[in-house]
Amino acid sequence: MPAPLPVEAAARAARTAPADVPPPLGAHPVEGGVEFCVHAGHADAVTLCLFDEQGRERHLAMDEHSHGAWSLRVEGVGPGQRYGYRVDGPWDPAAGHRHNPAKLLLDPYARAVDGTVDWRPEVFGHRVDESFAGDGLTRDDRDSAAYVPRSVVVDPTFDWGDDRPPQHSWRHTVIYETHVVGLTMLLPDVPEHLRGTYAGVAHPVTIEHLRRLGVTTVELLPVHSFTSEPAVVQRGLENYWGYNSLGFFAPHAGHAAARDPQGVVAEFKGMVKLLHAAGIEVLLDVVYNHTAEQSAAGGATLSWRGLDNRTYYWLDEQGVDVDVTGCGNTVAPQHTVPVRLVLDSLRYWVQEMHVDGFRFDLAVALARGKDGAFDPDHPLLVALRTDPVLSRVKLVAEPWDLGPDGWRTGQFPPPFAEWNDTFRDTVRTFWLPDVAGTLDGRPGHGVRELATRIAGSADRFGSAHRGPLASVNFVTAHDGFTLSDLTAYDRKHNEANGEGNRDGSNDNRSWNHGVEGPADEETETLRRRSRRNLLATLALSSGVPMLLGGDELGRTQGGNNNPYCQNNEISWYDWGLAPWQHDLIDTTSALLRLRREHRVLRQRHFFPGDPIDGDERAALHWHAIDGELMTAQRWDSPETRTLQAVFDGADVGDDRLLMVLHGSTDGGEVVLPRQPGVRRWRLLWDSAWEHPGEVTDREAAPGEAYPVVGANFLLFQGV
C-alpha cells in the first residue's frame, strides 16, 4: 500500500454539536463551511478526502466520533465540493470486517454523485484478476480513487413556488409504470437534448399524453444513483433498469439533461414540480434491499462495505453475505443503522424532493427479523406506518423476495398497498390459453379465480382492515413481456442479454395466437382484441390499476422479457405510431374514463357476501352464459369459459354495470341477465371494436341472446 497522504490537522474546526451528539449524517452546508458526518461503527480511523477542480486530493482526519458516527466541520468549502472517505480498521472477512483505506468510498448520504465506476481490479477491496475473480480474502492495497465516483455537496435551496402534492386518493389512482429514459428517448416532439431525461418526462408533450390517458400517478423505475454490474459491463452492455443502487439520496445523473451535479438535483425537482402542476403524482421504485457492491467475496468496495460491512449487510456467522435478493447481498434489516438510512432517505425524497410515495422492490427482504422470517410488525414497517411524514404518502410493496417463504402477497399491514401478482397470473391465464380453446391444466384458470380478482381479491386483502384498494392490479410490468409481446410470443427471446437466454421468467402465461413474433393481419387482429380484453379487465376490476408504460402504444421488446441491460431501441418507446396504435391509445383512455365515471368500479370496501355465491351478493351478481345465476357446478367446471358480472351501484349513487367476459376462442351467444329495475342493457364498450365507440346505439333486453365473438369483453349499462 502506498504511504498515506499527510493529514491537514489545521483544517479541523469547532463542531456544531457536542462530541456525544453526532450531527446529521451526510454533508450539510452551514455558515462558513460544511459539516460532514458518516457512520463507520467498527473503524479505527476515518479520513475525509476533498478534491479540487483539478482532481487533487487532500486528507482531513475525522477525530470526532461517537455512536459509530465520525464528523468534521470544514471551513471555506461549500456546495459543489467533491469528497469521499477512506476508512481504516480491521480486515477480518470471517468476522465481517473489510476495511481498506486504499479504497475511496462514497458517502451513503451523498445528495449528488459525480462520475461513474470504471470497472477495474482496483475498485475491489480484495485481490482479483483481470476477470474480477478472486478468493475474497486477500486485501488489495491499490488505490481506487481514479476509478470511482465522488460524492458532492449540494445546495438544498430550490424555488418550489406554490407546489402542492396532488394527493389523489387510492380510489382515483391510476398508476403508470415507466422508465425515465425509455419514455421520451424517441419522442420526436420533445427537444433532442431533453429526450430520455427528467426534463423530458416533464415536457408538455409527455404530460399531455399522460393526461390524455387518464393517468394520475407515474411510478418511475429506480432513479437513485446506480451503476452497472461488472459482469454486464464485460458483456459490452449496461444496467438500464437501475436496480443496482450506488446511493440512496442522489438522483441518477445519467437520467438528466444537466451535466453538473447541482443541476441534476434541480432538474429532478423541476420535473416533480411540473408534474404536480399537471395534477400527476410521482412515485419512486426504490431498491433498499441490496446495493451495487454485490457479494463480499465477488463484489467491489464502493461505499457501505468499506465503511462498515458488518453493520450495513446481513451476514452469517462466517461473515458471508446472506442473499435473499438474488443480487449478492442483502442490506441488514435487523440493524438500526441501515434501517435509519432507509428512513432518512425516504424522508429526504418526500420533504426535499417532494415525491408522493414509493414502491419497495423485494419488500419482504426489508422486513425479515433476526431469525430470518418475514415479520409484518418489523421495526422498519412499524416506523413507516407511524412516521408523521412517511405514513401520509403512498406506500406500495412488492410482496416477495428470493429467500425462504418469500412470497407474501396480501400479508403487508395497512396502509401498504401491494403488487397483486395473483391478479396478473389469473387474468393472463383466462384470456391467453396456451392452445386455442384450452388452458393446458394451469392453476388459476377458472372463472371462480377470475371472479375473485375482479371483485378485489378479498382472499388476499380481506383481513387487517384492508380493502380492494390495497391491491395494485397489473397484467404487465417492467419485469416480463409487454402487453403486445404477451400476445405475440410463447417463449422469451432474451439472446441480446448475453446470458444464453437463461435469464428472465419461463412462466409467462402468454399466447402467440399460433405464430411466434410478427404475423399476418388476421392473426394481428386477434392479438389486438386480446390486448383490449386484458386492458379492460385491468381498468374495470376492483383495486388500483397499474399500466405498464408503452402498453397503450402497443410497444414491443421483440419477445425479450428481461431487458434490464438494454438501453436501446429494445426498451425505448417507439412513437412512430401506426393507425392501430392510435386506436389503442384511445381505447386505453376510454376504459380509464369509464372507470372514473362509475364509482361502483372504485369501491373502497369489498362487496358483501361470498365471492362465488352469486345469489347471496347484495351488490355484485354472477351469471353464467345462459343468464342464470352461477351454480357451484359451473363455478368449479373447467369448461366454464364465460362469466357475467353485474355491479349494482345503487348504494353509491351509480348505475348497474354488466361485464361480459367470454374467454372461449369460439364465438356464440350469451343471454343477458335479468335484473330488477333494468329494462334494457345499453352497450358501453366492446373489445371487438378497434376504436372505442364504433357502435354507440346498441341495446338488448334482459333475457335476450346477444352475439359475442371469440375472446370478447363487453360492458353494458342498465337503463
Strands (DSSP E) contained in 338-457 are 357-360, 394-397, 417-420
Q: What is the grid cell recorded at 544?
A: 388500483
| First vs last C-alpha separation in the chain | 83
What would the DSSP string read from start to end of 45-106?
EEEEEEE-TT--EEEEE--EEETTEEEEEEET--TT-EEEEEEE--EEGGGTEE--TTS-B-
Phi, psi of 84, deg, nearest 5: -165, -175
| Of residues 38, 52, 41, 47, the one with CA closest to residue 12 | 47
The DSSP bridge pattern shows strands 175-178 and 544-548 to be parallel
Looking at the DSSP bridge assignments, the partners of residue 622 are 645
A 10 A CB-CB count for 642 gives: 19
| Of residues 282, 284, 287, the one with CA closest to residue 270 | 282
Give the catalytic positions in this structure. Answer: 361, 398
Phi, psi of 110, deg, nearest 5: -60, 130
12-48 burial, b if ≥16 CB within 10 A, otherwise e?
beebbeeeeebbebbbbbeeebbbbbbbbbbbebbbb
Q: What is the grid cell recorded at 521?
A: 393481419
CA atoms of 719 and 715, how far apart (whole Å): 13
User: Is 174:214 a contact under the CB 8 Å cutoff?
Assistant: yes
The DSSP bridge pattern shows strands 57-61 and 45-51 to be antiparallel
Strands (DSSP E) contained in 484-558 are 544-548
User: Is 622:643 a contact under the CB 8 Å cutoff?
Assistant: yes
Give the CA dihedral 129, 293, 115, 264, nearest 10 degrees.
160
User: Is 674:656 a contact under the CB 8 Å cutoff?
Assistant: no
Which residues have C-beta within 8 Å of that of residue 425, sequence separation ≥ 6? 444, 509
Give the CA dihedral 512, 175, 648, 687, nearest 10 degrees.
-30
Q: What is the grid cell recorded at 248?
A: 440512496
Phi, psi of 66, deg, nearest 5: -160, 150
Which DSSP state fits 327? S
Looking at the DSSP bridge assignments, the partners of residue 126 are 139
Give the CA dihedral 645, 688, 553, 167, nearest 10 degrees.
-30
User: Is 104:49 a contact under the CB 8 Å cutoff?
Assistant: yes
CA atoms of 352 and 355, how far apart (whole Å): 8
Torsion-angle region of 196 (φ positive above 0: left; ψ -120 to 50: alpha; else: beta):
left
Burial of 564 (0-12, 13-18, 19+ CB in 10 A): buried
Encoded amino acid at 272, one letter: V
Radius of gyration over alpha carbons of the chain, in Å? 27
Which DSSP state fits 606? P
